[in-house]
Amino acid sequence: MRIGVPKEIKVHEYRVGMTPVSVREAVARGLEVMVETNAALRQGISDDDYRKAGAVILPTAAEVFAKADMIVKVKEPQPAECKMLREGQTLFTYLHLAPDPEQAKALMASGATAIAYETVTNARGGLPLLAPMSEVAGRMAIQAGAHCLEMEQGGRGMLLGGTAGVPPAKVVVLGGGVSGANAARMAMGLEAHVTILDINLDRLAELKAQMGAGLTTVFSTRQAVEDYVLEADLVIGAVLVPGAEAPKLITRDMVKAMKRGSVIVDISIDQGGCAETSRPTTHAAPTFIVDDVVHYCVANMPGAVARTSTFALNNATLPFILALAGKGPKRAMAEDPHLLAGLNVYAGRITYPAVAEALGVEAVPARAAIG
| Alpha helices in the chain, H assignment, sequence order | 20-28, 47-53, 61-67, 79-82, 101-110, 131-148, 178-189, 201-211, 222-231, 252-257, 306-327, 329-335, 337-340, 353-359, 366-370
Q: Residues 161, 117: contact at Cβ < 8 Å?
A: no
The one catalytic residue in 96, 100, 198, 266 is: 96
Whole-number Å distance between alpha carbons of 284 and 231: 30
From the candidates 49, 100, 270, 336, give the one annotated as an active-site residue. Answer: 270
Count of residues in the chain: 371
CB within 8 A of 55, min separation 6: which ones? 5, 20, 23, 27, 33, 34, 35
What's the rounded Cα separation, in Å, for the pair 279 and 272?
Answer: 8
Instruction: Tell me if residue 96 is catalytic.
Output: yes
Give the count of beta carbons closer than 10 Å to the beta carbon of residue 253: 10
- Report which of 237, 295, 294 is spatially closest to residue 270, judged by C-alpha positions: 237
What one-letter code names the amino acid at 186?
Answer: M
Name the 3-class secondary structure at 367.
helix
- Residue type present at position 304: A
Distance CA 184, CA 169 (A): 13
The answer to whether the CB of 161 falls within 8 A of the CB of 193 is: no
Pairing between β-strand 170-174 and β-strand 234-237 as defined by DSSP bridges: parallel
**Which residues are catalytic, by number?**
96, 270
